[in-house]
Copies of this chain bind each other. A is one copy, B any other.
Amino acid sequence: MSVKFAVLGHGVVGSGVVELFYKNRKSIEKRAGTEMDIKYILDLRDFPDSPYKDKFTKDFNDILNDDEVTAVAECMGGVEPAFTFVKACLEKGKSVSTSNKELVAEKGDILLAAAKANNCNFFFEASVGGAIPIIRPLHRCLAANDIDKVAGILNGTTNFILTKMYNDNMSFADALALAQKLGYAEKNPTADVEGHDACRKICIISSLVFGKHIYPSSVFTKGISEIDLADVAAADILGHAIKLVASVRRLDDGRILPAVMPMLVPHENIMAGVNDVFNAVLVYGDGIDQAMFYGRGAGKLPTASAVMGDVIEAVKHKVTVFSQTWTSSDDNSFVAPVNELCTKWYFRVPADCESVAEGAYTDENGISFITEENLSFDEAAAKAEKLNALAFLPVLD
């Protein structure tokens, strides 16, 4: 018997799913253990030149009401109408695989519950780290671990910009313009540059690891638009690369502290070498010590590859994979405020400043140094004010 699935959306990712499926159909069917085909592609636009033009529909109900369709790949993006469509599919017992991080970060708990209630699966490997297998390894291969920290470079656009600043001495504005020219950044780059995209992804990871839904609105988020070339250069001389780090850690009292912000990553940390549009996720557990997953965090075929991998899983597992789930949370008291993050800090202060740490580096942009002691956010801000700091950034421990 042949399994039929539908693809919602024929944009970059959705068209990639179609392309990848037909390219590798034979090996995909072998891995799924069954014949497979795409029955519908949902898009409001016309694609008269597509070789699959007879599969297109503009009416979601064609898919919803066709019992032959048992799996759906959602690649539309945005919360609505994706949420309504996905929920309806799950309620009909159709498993859904999505690349839509906004949907998972805002509505993951509801959709996971719907999947469970209807004995099907809601998978979202592609929503974090694009091609990088991270959701499933986190939940399966590392199942025996007590995970207490995850830190990642989860946005390719900002990592490309920071890499250009570091390698080619480009200003933030020039690097952003180049990213836009190359198609790595959108015309309105706010979601990437200000950290909102990375925030959604760390919310998904945090929810998965700690079992409760973490909403983007409860995560401290700061982007890279204020990063100065002088700090990129000084950080390098002090042995660090500046990266936009999305992280979550469990505090001693059990609360968790998620945050997105530019941080100094020591050169010895493998994450410092993650450049260009590549993403990486570093996971710390009591058994494994640390493990890193690295790859392309976005792009047509990389993301499609993750969606398609989930579709194969959905076809293979006809019952809900219970473990990959988390619960709703009305109360956010288990999320600690960012001020409780205690770490070393980088400061750049005016050249006439006298109160600096060992190993400070001086050039025409001022004196740069890293504190020997850990400081909270508030303490760092107070110190910055006292020293008239030109810049200050936390250091990843």
Contact = CB atoms under 8 A, between A and B. Distances in A.
Interface of A: 20-21, 23-24, 27-28, 30-33, 125, 131-133, 136-137, 139-146, 268, 270, 272-275, 278, 285-296, 299, 301-302, 304-306, 308-309, 311-313, 316, 322-323
Nearest to A292: B294
26 contacts: A21-B144, A24-B146, A31-B323, A132-B291, A133-B133, A136-B137, A136-B140, A136-B141, A137-B137, A137-B141, A140-B312, A141-B306, A144-B304, A144-B309, A144-B312, A145-B305, A270-B274, A270-B294, A285-B305, A286-B301, A288-B296, A289-B299, A290-B295, A292-B294, A292-B295, A293-B293
Contact of A133 (B278, B291, B308): B291
Contacts of A308: 143-144, 287
Given A270-B294, A291-B294, A292-B295, A24 B144 contact: yes
Contacts of A125: 141
Contact of A140 (B268, B273, B309): B309
A353 to B, nearest CB: 34
Nearest to A321: B316
A288 B141 contact: no
B305 A295 contact: no
**Closest 3 pairs between A and B when the two form their complex, measured CB to CB:** A287-B305, A133-B141, A144-B308
A34 B142 CA distance: 17
A284 to B, nearest CB: 10
A288 B295 contact: yes
Contacts of A301: 286-289
A335 to B, nearest CB: 20
A2 B145 CA distance: 20
Q: Is the interface of A mostly helix, strand, loop or mixed?
A: mixed
A285 B306 CA distance: 12
A266 to B, nearest CB: 12
Contacts of A304: 144, 287
A289 B296 contact: yes
Nearest to A294: B292
Contacts of A31: 139, 143, 323
A137 B293 CA distance: 10
Contact of A27 (B27, B33, B146, B302): B146
A289 B295 contact: yes
A342 B204 CA distance: 43
A57 B21 CA distance: 51
Given A305-B142, A312-B143, A131 B24 contact: no
Contact of A305 (B33, B275, B288): B288
Given A136-B137, A287-B302, 19 more contacts: A31-B139, A133-B140, A133-B142, A133-B291, A141-B306, A141-B309, A142-B309, A143-B312, A144-B311, A270-B273, A270-B278, A272-B273, A286-B301, A287-B304, A289-B295, A291-B295, A292-B292, A293-B293, A294-B294
- Name the residue among A268, A274, A293, A316 with the largest chain B CB count within 10 angstroms: A293
Contact of A23 (B133, B286, B289): B286
A131 B291 contact: yes
Contacts of A143: 28, 31-32, 308-309, 312-313
Contacts of A132: 291
